[in-house]
Chain A
Amino acid sequence: MEPYKSQIGQPVSRLEGHLKVTGTARYAGDYSVPGLLYGYVINSTITKGKIISFDTSRAKALPGVLEVFTHENRPSLAWFDLQYADMDAPPGSPFRPLQDADILYNGQPIGLVVAETFELARYAATLMDIEYEEEAFDTDLRSQQHLARSPKIGMATMLKPLPPKPKGNFEKAFNASPNQVSAEFFHGTEHHNPLELFATTTVYEGKGKLTIYDKTQGTINSQMYVANIFGLKFKNVRVISPYVGGAFGSALRPQYQLFLSVMAALKLERSVLVTLDRHQMFTFGHRPPTVQRTRFSADNNGIITALNHLAIGETSRFEDYTEVVVNWSHMLYPAANTLMQYKLVELDVYSPLDMRAPGGVTGMHAIESTIDELAHKSKIDPLQLRLTNYTEIDVSLNRPYSSKELRECYLQGAEKFGWDKRNPEPRSMRRGNKLVGYGMATGIWEANQLPAKAEAILTGDGKLKINSAVTDIGTGTLTVMTQIAADELGLPVEDVEFAYGDSKKPFAPIQGGSFTVSTVGSAVKAVGAAMRKKLFSIAKKMKGGVFDGADLKDVSFEGGRVFITNDRSRSVSFQEIIAANDNKPVKLSKFSVPSILKLKKYSRAAHSAVFVEVEVDEELGVINVTRAVTAVAAGKIINPKTARSQILGGMIWGISKALREETIQDDGLGKYMNQNLSEYHIPVHADIHELDVIFVDEKDTVVNELGTKGVGEIGIVGMPPAITNAIFNATGKRINQLPIHFDMLL
């Protein structure tokens, strides 16, 4: 028998790949259900005010239109805010669709047409006669900055710590420093725009039972939300979501198509599919616009002396959405004097929502641009400045990092990129009529772990099945969990089935924040270990006494057998164990909980160093990111193939944030003007050039049993500042508003 090859660390191709390339992977809107009805949402056309009258009669008169739900005829629902709160709800009162006549933001869902066909529902939705009473509104963050206030504190603050307390005397130290930089940054609104339109297919099973195919990053989150609001028993609400067509945070909270689909299904006692259109994809959460001001200083040796970072973010009138924007600089740079401030402005918009590296990508752009400018002013190489200020401990909280191979990231990344060929003088490097610029930046993202449960079943054929409610939003969860489980029992990947995306399965939290592998993976590892123990205990009792006198530590699991590590002849197959178990599958589950006491002693974060080359057409301003290298230290990489794709995806998101995507807002009208993929520019293939990823070895025995830190976010955070710094090197222009339009360089 060939020795078992550890699956962890192998570039296993996605196990669901076959389904995705053949079109057989079914997403939330792909279920053909007998008698399915189609819902089409009606949205407010005003920004703020009240609905005075809502006449649906023209639509209802159409044969095939079953109902038009509005605030006037919706079924009575749960009363308390808490019942509407989901796992990702910020402090405040969650938005309640069709609650009353009040309009809180432009595009608010105010009705649902339900008809026999999609086409009919869509047509009927155009036949509404609605009168509004409009009120004055404010949607412009920049003009309302004077109203900035501290955020309310709530459950969400646990994963999103408030800014650290000030240290030393910032003003004094800043003013005394020979090298000072002050800068102001503005980031506009962005929308997640996963390619899949949000959809929910609610299958009405009768007797208050529902099976719901939902686009979500948390099956149990959706289940809980539906059960609470509609007063259903948890066991009667099953949410299934194995394939999610991208989410990037947008499906961390249940969106209104879920509410409307379930409401209609319960009321009409029929199965209902509600799919949002692309325009409606701009009518819920978004990355908030943010204003930032930084003031950093250094002495003549390049030692950073003082850091001040202020961020003012947008939130809605009904919830205090917060993100971690200003905490990062002091985690990276051990200045003795700091002042970090974070504030919110309420505007007439929907609540913002976590979007890939929420806060981190916003804050790090400001931080790493300011550091670059500080290096420029101090006449120190930007990489050298970062190495000079390198710290092994997180000074902001005075605790060591559980692991930190950022220095290796800097060095390996610089080597691969050819950083030594950079001329620090702006506009000094050229290629034909194009200016060439090199820029670099640091990335950081916290490594968290949440509680999760997993179930393992070993069947008579010697195969292992693992159950978890977790989703796979395209990150590779299925594949990675399978690899982790395979290793625990020494099985080939083919003999392990990971079943997921179903609220009936053991608890997993929402999938986000780069914590899924650490969270669910730890549970899978724990249940795998428990299974080993159980199998061995059965095997020990088997006739023949193969394992007499042996302990669990003396045996190994490989290729479907348990054997004495030093004597392979003493072995028992999994099949034999199950046979000895009266042919009953061995089934057990395990809850994995982070060791808070241990973790509290450390700061835990993934790091990256990003190096970018840009070409800028000197006369026309056209910008291309021609090359980029990201070196990542994110602990153990379970699957280098899918992890690399995560980093590449993050890098492309970074290119997009720096140079492409923006939600255009007309504050006079109080609405977004480019609610489509034609004018909301996400990168096309022609925008993307050479991208390189390095995974730096990093051992971490603290973060979790697997030593993983997550790779969903770390790919994006350093990219925008590396790009803007490269543009500065190319052109001498420092543009602190994203995205940078090429005409800003004219």
Chain B
Amino acid sequence: MLTELTEPTTLKASQPVNLVVNGTPLQLNLLPWVSLLDALRDYSGLTGTKKGCDHGQCGACTVICDGKRVLSCLSLAVSKDGSEITTIEGIAPEGDLHPLQKAFIEHDAFQCGYCTPGQICSAIGMMKEGKAKTRAEVKELMSGNLCRCGANTNIIDAIMEVQNQSVHE
């Protein structure tokens, strides 16, 4: 039930922010204190990225910015002008699932699902970094994503499965 988005009424200090989000160019006009997270959620209708703390303490807002996993809550959108952003909505082609998404479902790697977009985006970033080989290393490098439901073991199981598959391919 996406509807048109409201423009903020106080536009006097707004500045153009051009982003490529999930492959689509987005031209926004934002005040400089709008975070990348709010730019996605409130100004672009992309609510898949979650706000769990808004202060860099939970990882729920993790997106991939210019190829790297970052926290969108601590990023000012203006500062990311020109960046390519991938959110949970854009990690797989429409109608298809990323291997991690499939593995998360199969391993029941979530309960409430609120940390899930951040966990998956973070895991994609982690696999691209290529620094985590063992389970212990994966756990350490995924520790920036909190899960309050306690799906931790299932999350790591899902990631290990996909990581091992991609190593063998």
Contact = CB atoms under 8 A, between A and B. Distances in A.
Interface of A: 13-14, 16-27, 29-36, 62-64, 116-120, 123, 193-197, 243-248, 275, 277-278, 473-476, 641-642, 644-646, 648-653, 676-678, 682-688, 691
Contacts, number: 202
B112 interface: yes
Contacts of B51: 29, 197, 275
Contacts of B117: 21, 23
A195 B6 contact: no
Report which residue of A14, A651, A684, A691 has the largest number of chain B beta carbons within 10 angstroms of its beta carbon.
Answer: A684
Given A195-B115, A676-B55, A678-B55, A13 B108 contact: yes
Given A32-B5, A645-B154, A677 B108 contact: no
B147 to A, nearest CB: 7
B9 interface: yes
Contacts of B87: 23
A278 B50 contact: no
A649 B139 contact: no
Nearest to A246: B112
Interface string B16-32: 00000000000000010
Given A119-B33, A119-B34, A474 B149 contact: yes
Contacts of A62: 10
Contacts of B49: 23
10 contacts: A17-B104, A17-B105, A23-B117, A195-B52, A195-B147, A246-B149, A645-B108, A646-B111, A683-B152, A685-B152
B111 A476 contact: yes
B4 interface: yes
Contacts of A197: 51-54
Nearest to A194: B148
B57 interface: yes
Contacts of A34: 3-4, 6
B114 A64 contact: no
A275 B42 CA distance: 13
Given A193-B148, A687-B152, 18 more contacts: A17-B105, A21-B104, A23-B49, A24-B48, A27-B50, A63-B10, A195-B58, A197-B54, A278-B55, A641-B108, A642-B108, A646-B111, A648-B152, A649-B111, A677-B57, A677-B58, A685-B152, A691-B153
Given A32-B1, A34-B3, A677-B53, A652 B139 contact: no
A197 B138 CA distance: 27
A39 to B, nearest CB: 14
Contacts of A642: 108
Closest 7 A-B residue pairs measured CB to CB?
A23-B48, A245-B114, A474-B112, A20-B113, A652-B150, A649-B150, A474-B111
Report which residue of B57, B151, B152 has the largest number of chain A beta carbons within 10 angstroms of its beta carbon.
Answer: B152
Contact of A195 (B60, B106, B120, B139): B60
B167 interface: no
Given A24-B48, A117-B42, A686-B140, A63 B57 contact: no
A13 B106 contact: yes
B74 interface: no
Contact of B88 (A14, A23, A474): A23
A244 B146 CA distance: 16
Interface in B36-85: 38, 41-42, 45-58, 60
A34 B1 CA distance: 11
Interface in B122-150: 136, 138-140, 142-150
Chain A binding surface SS class: loop
B163 interface: no
A684 B143 contact: yes
Nearest to B143: A684
Contacts of A25: 113
B148 A117 contact: no
B114 A194 contact: yes
Contacts of B3: 32-34
B90 to A, nearest CB: 9
Contacts of A29: 47, 51
A296 B44 CA distance: 62
Nearest to A655: B150
Given A20-B116, A21-B110, A119-B33, A684 B146 contact: yes
Given A474-B112, A683-B152, A277 B139 contact: no
A270 to B, nearest CB: 11
Nearest to A715: B150
Contacts of B4: 34
A685 B115 contact: no
Contacts of B151: 645, 648-649
A489 B153 CA distance: 35
Contact of B112 (A245, A277, A653, A676): A245
Contacts of A123: 33
Nearest to A479: B108
Contacts of B33: 119, 123
B131 to A, nearest CB: 15
A205 to B, nearest CB: 14
A33 B4 CA distance: 8
Contact of B148 (A246, A277, A475, A651): A246
Contacts of B38: 118-119
B95 to A, nearest CB: 10
A721 to B, nearest CB: 18
A278 B42 contact: no
Nearest to B98: A21
Contact of A475 (B41, B57, B60, B111): B111
Contacts of B54: 197, 277-278
A330 to B, nearest CB: 30
B4 to A, nearest CB: 7
Contact of A120 (B6, B8, B45, B47): B8
A208 B154 CA distance: 46
B42 to A, nearest CB: 6
Contacts of B142: 685
A475 B55 CA distance: 27
A644 B139 CA distance: 21
Report which residue of B9, B89, B140 has the largest number of chain A beta carbons within 10 angstroms of its beta carbon.
Answer: B9
A26 B45 CA distance: 11
A650 B150 contact: yes
A684 B108 CA distance: 18
Contact of A685 (B46, B52, B60, B156): B156
B53 to A, nearest CB: 4
Contact of B9 (A63, A683, A684): A63
Report which residue of A117, A243, A685 has the largest number of chain B beta carbons within 10 angstroms of its beta carbon.
Answer: A685
A275 B41 CA distance: 13
Contacts of A118: 38, 42
Contacts of B42: 117-118
Given A195-B115, A474-B111, A641-B108, A30 B149 contact: no
Nearest to B32: A119
Contact of B57 (A16, A18, A278): A278
Contacts of A687: 152
Nearest to A26: B47
Nearest to B103: A21
Contacts of B9: 63-64, 116-117
Contacts of A193: 148
A242 to B, nearest CB: 11
B152 A653 contact: no
